[in-house]
A = this chain, B = another copy of it.
Amino acid sequence: MKKGTIKGFSKLNKRGKIKWIVENFFKDPEAVMHELVSYWHGSEEQQKVLDGFSENTISNFPMPFSVAPNFVINDQVYAIPMVIEESSVVAAAASAARYWMDRGGFKATVLSTIKVGQIHLSCLQDFSILSSWFDSNKKAILDSCCDVTANMVERGGGILGAQLLSFSEEEDYYQIRIQFETCDSMGANFINTVLETIAQTLVARHQNDFGDQSHLQIIMCILSNYTPESLVRASVSCPIHKLGKVAGLSPLQFAHRFAKAVRIAEIDPYRATTHNKGIFNGIDAVVLATGNDFRAVEACGHTYAARDGQYRSLSHCMVDETHFTFWLEIPMAIGTVGGLTKIHPIAKRSIEMLGNPSAQQLMQIITAVGLAQNFAAIRSLVTTGIQKGHMKMHLSNLLNQLKATEAEFRMAVEYFKDKVVSHKAVHDFLSILRSPDVPQEETE
């Protein structure tokens, strides 16, 4: 075995894992072990639940748990739980929420809720033969999983339809695409189990009807994270004059600058990427806080942004003679039951903070927060610029970390008004301040 490799790591207990890690990869094993343990939860039972979410866990990675109050969505007031490590995201969301609260709030609608599963097949048969066989056997094949779907059907969900597809780019390859309604669950486990069950029936029946010659093989079965028909729309709108004066701009000037910024993200992929990234700052913060899977929501949203052949903005803006309207349309598959939503202790509290919403309500909330985030970012960008707020936060983080006193804090804020804030620069600044040659200001 090479140095630093190990057999049976997963079988060590947690202290054993930490011991091996700190001894092999750290210069100060004792201090690191102590620090990692300091992040465990005080209750052993609670910590056991947290450790169960993943494998080879040695500690908790703390993410800030924040709240953005004053969100009015479909006339309902929410305080939004957000989990995000990037400074100024929560402040921006809260500020946009407050702004729109006085202007009618956010409106959101779920346009569709269809989830997708795929069975990928390799088969030597002609598409026409397989296709007609599939059509006449479809009902029996889909019905074969009714034990598995019974619970979901009772809740109003289940299988909605299925199609056999062929792809000109790849011979011998066919796909069965299946649509699902999964109610308040994201549906990954349900869909995957259904697909694997159906696939077994499919192969058995096909072999029964055609024997081995046509050689139908399952390559794989899995849900698709691309769900363009699980679509939600959030919008804000008000008469232009109600926008008020924004950072010295008249309401009309602001509306046009804002619309132009959105338009740019519609035509330039380099800008669209950053623009949508800002939307996901808000979306992911709520997705994480509610125990949902942000990789799934990201992948789905970005694929959707590229659906017409060019990657574009997910949000849009219209300024007509009287009104300003700004909206976001995005597909997402999330749940309020299943997965970690009710298992993660803080995620469970997030769901509760939101009034135990249905999955559709949570889709609306998440999308409204994404739109709010986008609104706040563009408003900053087209007025004061984004750096002012960012640098202030970054400086404050660094000063906290370097244990600056209040007096040092004040001097640093003044000094860095027109300079790039970096760890080194702030460190150097404090070193000079703290050198014995500098007269020390009185501090508490």
Contacts and interface: CB of A to CB of B under 8 A. Distances in A.
Nearest to A355: B25
A65 B77 contact: no
7 contacts: A85-B340, A148-B419, A189-B387, A189-B422, A219-B260, A220-B381, A284-B294
A35 B122 CA distance: 52
A311 B300 contact: no
Nearest to A289: B61
Nearest to A4: B77
Contacts of A85: 53-54, 288, 291, 293, 340, 344
A50 B311 CA distance: 36
Interface stretch (A68-76, A206-214, A435-443): A68-76
A64 B190 CA distance: 24
Contact of A62 (B41, B175, B269): B41
A5 B77 contact: yes
A29 to B, nearest CB: 11
A190 B420 contact: yes
A192 to B, nearest CB: 5
A101 interface: yes
Name which of A5, A169, A170 has the most chain B CB atoms within 10 A of its CB. Answer: A5
Contacts of A140: none
B9 A61 contact: no
A342 interface: yes
Interface in A301-316: 302-303, 305-307, 309-311
Nearest to A68: B56
A423 to B, nearest CB: 6
A349 B32 contact: yes
A268 B190 CA distance: 22
A267 interface: yes
Given A2-B72, A120-B261, A294-B294, 8 more contacts: A5-B70, A9-B67, A9-B69, A52-B397, A60-B63, A192-B386, A226-B273, A303-B306
Name which of A32, A61, A280, A403 has the most chain B CB atoms within 10 A of its CB. Answer: A61
Nearest to A403: B45
A261 B58 CA distance: 34
Q: Ordered nearest first, which 3 A-B pairs have the shortest CB separation?
A: A302-B302, A306-B306, A226-B273
Contacts of A196: 385, 387
Nearest to A278: B295
Interface string A132-173: 000000000000000010010000000000000001011001
A20 to B, nearest CB: 8
B189 A420 contact: yes
